Structure 1
Amino acid sequence: MDEQALKIVPLPKVWDPELKIGEMLKGKRGLVVGVSNENSIAYGCATKLRGFGAELALTYLNEQARPYVQPLAEQIEASMLLPLDVRKPGEMTALFEEIGRQWGQLDFVIHSIAFAPRQDLHGRVIDCSIDGFTQAMQVSCYSFIEMARLAEPLMTRGGALMTMSYYGADKVVNHYNVMGPVKAALQATTRYLAAELGDKNIRVYAVSPGPLKTRAASGIAEFDELIDMAVKRSPTHRLVDIAEVGRVVAFLVGGAASGITGDTIYVDGGLHNVA
């Protein structure tokens, strides 16, 4: 047998027991979009990412929202706090230009925003208005595409793009209504972005938490019923929390997830396996 074929190649070191947990993401810089208060999924992600050593930029929706987000940004020592309403032309471009000016590169983006007009969200899918459907798709899905396009040139050493989905994208969930088709489109978008960006070492994920008591989720009709169903049917018989979602996001951002891309990662206590 060829001696070269017998050559032992040392395995990469994937865990250093001397490495402090607070340094696992040291040197990585990322954008977290969607922090609205201390109970939001985006804030759960931001706290864990920062706890593992990442440097963060956060956004706030508008001046009315800023007083709620700024103290949270200060609490986790975010390097930047910038405005972003994805419905306003040019605002997202300005955001990424500022990140490029201050940092010069970017390692990850967490997209944790969704919206549908209340009337369309509470009605049947068949009765959804074209305007309501378009708004839901723009904010909840297309904005992720736009972020990926603007982040791509900044991810000069590879990176990770993440968005938040829900089991209602896979199966019909009572009262989830128009957000079901919209989140299904978001998960399909994740797969296509992963395929297109893989050769640049940019990984793309959809994270699918179980129902959480966030302000955004409270807009879903009969939300308490959804919560009760999750507790009753999930194998763990409890809700997950934003810290658990944040830890999974930190894992996906880190190098340990380098062999995963294009997938929907469920953080729901196993609910999707039985619901």
Structure 2
Amino acid sequence: MSFLNISKKRFLVCGLGNRRSVAWAVGQTLEEAGAEVIYTIRNDKRAGELKKLLKERPFLLCDVEYEDDIATLGERVREEYGELDGFVHSIAFANFSEGLVPFHETKRKDFLQATQISAFSLVELSRSLKPVLKPDASVVAIGISSSVTAANYGYMSPIKNALEGCVRFLAKSFSKDSEIRFNSVNAGPLRTKSSAGIPGYLDNYLYAEQLTYRKRALTTQEVADTVVYLLSPRSSGINAQGIVVNAGMDWNYFDESVVEKASRPELSRGNSDA
């Protein structure tokens, strides 16, 4: 038996979007450990785009923007696959089609849409899937490191904070009649396809890399490894927590090399007038 003890267990990974996504890395890691993985995909169009990637892997369509899609998901899982040992919420959306605006100029419809998709959908999915979750199942949501409050992340920072709040309240709510655990993995900046759509994200990503103790950016696989551990029985004592995975960047604001470049900008430009 492997350390994780998840062989033959069944997990639902919600929000597969592409090969570079956290959802795909989590699914692959689970499969490598011998687990059965079912994916949810937003719609038929996305499923067609992922056909070569998925091959014969099982999946269900579920667009969390539509209440009916979520409401029927639990029953569809039961009919086609049976009970679950846990599920992963790797879903986020923000409308940046009009470019980045100051936070106080965020439109109501954009904020509410992003909140429903990125945060409240965890509550809705948990409610729908509760009948098919085993009494000791584990649920993991993908959040962001508390240090990610950059202006160009826009209104997604407070929405991801709302997601983490939902995790804690779900843990309390489900504890009334089960030992189902809820946790989030709060990742530092990652190079994913979805992050590429955030205005100015690359500059912040490169800056965050310099703030890590190791001077090497966080990888999607490192986030996935933490998610899989939280899904496993080995993490049974962890509940209602936000596990930060960012290679130490939130404790390294005053890194000597970064401070030097900021206080002597000519160094970063390679300028030498002396």
Which TM-score band (shorter chain)?
0.7 to 0.9
Residues 64-213 of structure 1 mapped to structure 2, 5 A cutoff: 64-74=45-55, 78=57, 80-119=58-97, 122-167=100-145, 169=146, 172-199=149-176, 200-213=178-191
How much is the aligned-residue C-alpha RMSD, in angstroms?
Answer: 1.8
Letter matched to residue 181 of structure 1: P
In structure 2, C-alpha distance between the alignment counterparts of 1:139 and 1:130, rounded to whole Å: 14
In structure 2, C-alpha distance between the alignment counterparts of 1:264 and 1:236, rounded to whole Å: 22
In structure 1, C-alpha distance between the alignment counterparts of 2:12 and 2:98, rounded to whole Å: 30
Letter matched to residue 142 of structure 2: M
In structure 2, C-alpha distance between the alignment counterparts of 1:270 and 1:113, rounded to whole Å: 25
Match of 1:53 in 2: 34
Taking a change above 3 Å as real, the CA distance of residues 233 and 261 of structure 1, as seen in their structure-2 partners, is same
1:120 shift after superposition: 7.0
Matched, 1:242 2:220: yes
In structure 1, C-alpha distance between the alignment counterparts of 2:74 and 2:131, rounded to whole Å: 10
Q: Which runs of 4+ in 1 moved over 4 A?
A: none
- Which secondary structure does the structure 1 equivalent of 2:12 belong to? strand
2:73–2:129 contact (8 Å) kept in structure 1: no
Taking a change above 3 Å as real, the CA distance of residues 121 and 267 of structure 1, as seen in their structure-2 partners, is farther
In structure 2, C-alpha distance between the alignment counterparts of 1:250 and 1:86, rounded to whole Å: 23
Q: 2:241 aligns with which of 239, 243, 263?
A: 263
Matched, 1:37 2:18: yes
1:124 shift after superposition: 1.4
In structure 2, C-alpha distance between the alignment counterparts of 1:215 and 1:166, rounded to whole Å: 16
Give a deviation string over 1:103-149, Cα, whole Å, max 9, x none.
Answer: 33111111111111115772111001110011010100010000111
- Which secondary structure does the structure 1 equivalent of 2:175 belong to? helix
Letter matched to residue 196 of structure 1: S
Taking a change above 3 Å as real, the CA distance of residues 105 and 235 of structure 1, as seen in their structure-2 partners, is same
Q: Report the TM-score, using the length of structure 2 for normalisation.
A: 0.86
Give a deviation string over 1:197-216, Cα, whole Å, max 9, x none.
Answer: 23411110111122111111
Structure 2 residue runs of 5 or longer lacking an equivalent are 254-274
For structure 1, which segment, 86-95 or 131-140, has the greater mean C-alpha deviation from structure 2 after superposition? 86-95
- Which secondary structure does the structure 1 equivalent of 2:152 belong to? coil
- Which secondary structure does the structure 2 equivalent of 1:156 belong to? strand
- Which secondary structure does the structure 1 equivalent of 2:23 belong to? helix
In structure 2, C-alpha distance between the alignment counterparts of 1:224 and 1:207, rounded to whole Å: 21
Q: Report the TM-score, using the length of structure 1 for normalisation.
A: 0.86
Structure 1 residue runs of 5 or longer lacking an equivalent are 1-18
1:52–1:250 contact (8 Å) kept in structure 2: no
Give a deviation string over 1:226-260, Cα, whole Å, max 9, x none.
Answer: 11111111112111222211111111111110000
In structure 1, C-alpha distance between the alignment counterparts of 2:151 and 2:67, rounded to whole Å: 34
1:30–1:56 contact (8 Å) kept in structure 2: yes
Match of 2:269 in 1: none
- Which secondary structure does the structure 1 equivalent of 2:72 belong to? helix
1:156 shift after superposition: 3.1
Give a deviation string over 1:146-193, Cα, whole Å, max 9, x none.
Answer: 0111122212332111111112x5563231110011011111111111
Match of 2:266 in 1: none
Letter matched to residue 138 of structure 1: Q
Could you tell me the percent identity over the aligned residues?
27
Match of 2:196 in 1: 218
